[in-house]
Structure 1
Amino acid sequence: MRILGIDPGLRITGFGVIDHTEGSLFYIGSGCIKTSEGTLPDRLKVILDGLDEIITEYRPEYVAIEQVFVNINPKSTLLLGQARGAAICAAVKQNLIIAEYTALQIKQAVVGNGHAKKNQVQDMVVRLLNLMDSPRADASDALACAICHAHNGLNLGRIPLTGYRMKRGRLV
């Protein structure tokens, strides 16, 4: 099963591709899509086109993307959300299954601690994927997102529903 992880950003969008086979993780590729200081529509097009090429090249079955956190600066949060929207559009355009994870969920899945430092996440990505060197920070975050999906996301929707009923949108 091939998973594309995406760490969205307006300046730099990281991507990482892994295979998850019989409980083992295999590194396929990673990198960054960099945008220039052009207009917002031009930068979003670079992200959309770049991810479209990556999806065409690597043919993932799943896309895992980091959710936007609310920043102190609302303008930064909105711009990040637009970059994230472009990334989601690239996946939707090719009919891929998309999963979203918070930074806390990703750190918990990769390091075992939701409040881990960035360098701890990078070290675990290197160890889990048996890499020789640490990828760039944005690519490493994207790989961590893909690892999170491999560890957790594939079991979503497999909750046994026998003996439960829905009440106000929740299982009881």
Structure 2
Amino acid sequence: MGIDPGLTRCGVGVVEGRPGAPGTMIAVGVIRTDPKAPLADRLLALDDGLRAFLEDHQPEAVAVERVFSQHNVASVIGTAQASGIALLAGARLGLPTATYTPSEAKAAICGNGAADKQQVTTMITRILRLKEAPKPADAADALAIAVCHLWRGGMKARLAAAAGNGGPR
């Protein structure tokens, strides 16, 4: 399961497959919270939405887009809080968790770590053989994170195990 964390819109996507194969989309969605609601209520709503998605689809792993520095500090803080909720949701169920930077996901999906959102959406639509592009972009980004983990997660785990730290968490 891939998660594009956000406090207002959190993209969630579940894919099935194996490294080297296109994969199949199982589910995609966006969990929304009210920007006018108190922060604690928004975080709880996000947690409830992620928990429901995890229960409904029972993924084997959770991959979350890693928070990156932006100029808008308030936006980074909200995204970081949402990211923490996403990682906690997977860990609570004992699922392996991993994080990927936006450029890692873009490189995996588009072959270019500097690809724009439209390129990611176009490529994830092709890779998963979807009839139409997932909308909004948060949904496409979540699928991209899921596919990135599908394709790269096994290698990361093997490298981490070889280094002696047990794999991505």
TM-score by length of 1: 0.88
Alignment of 1:47-126 (within 5 A): 47-126=46-125
Correspondence for 1:10 among 2, 7, 10? 7
Q: For residues 124-172 of structure 1, what are the alpha-carbon distances to aligned partners after superposition, in whole Å with 9 as ceiling and x for unaligned?
A: 100000000001111100000001111111111324999xx99xxxxxx
Structure 2: gaps of 5 or more residues? 165-169
Among 13, 32, 35, which residue is 1:34 paired with?
32
Counterpart of 1:29, as a letter, is A
Instruction: Tell me the number of residue pairs that the alignment of Structure 1 and Structure 2 aligns.
Output: 161
Moved more, 66-75 or 129-138: 66-75
Paired position in structure 2 for 1:158: 158
Change (3 A) 1:13 1:160: closer
Alpha carbons of structure 1 residues 161 and 133: separation in structure 2 relative to 1, 3 Å? closer
SS, match of residue 70 in structure 2: coil
Task: For residue 9 of structure 1, give the secondary structure of its aligned residue in structure 2.
Answer: coil
Structure that is richer in strand per residue? 1
1:5-46 superposed Cα distances (whole Å, 9 cap, x missing partner):
000000000000000147431110101000012000000001
RMSD: 1.9
Q: Which amino acid aligns with 1:67?
A: R
1:38 is aligned with what amino acid?
A
Structure with max Cα Rg: 1
Tell me, which stretches of 5 or more residues in structure 1 are unaligned? 167-172
Structure 1 or 2: more helix by fraction: 2
Are residues 22 and 154 of structure 1, via their aligned partners in 2, closer, same or farther at CA, if it must alter by over 3 Å? closer
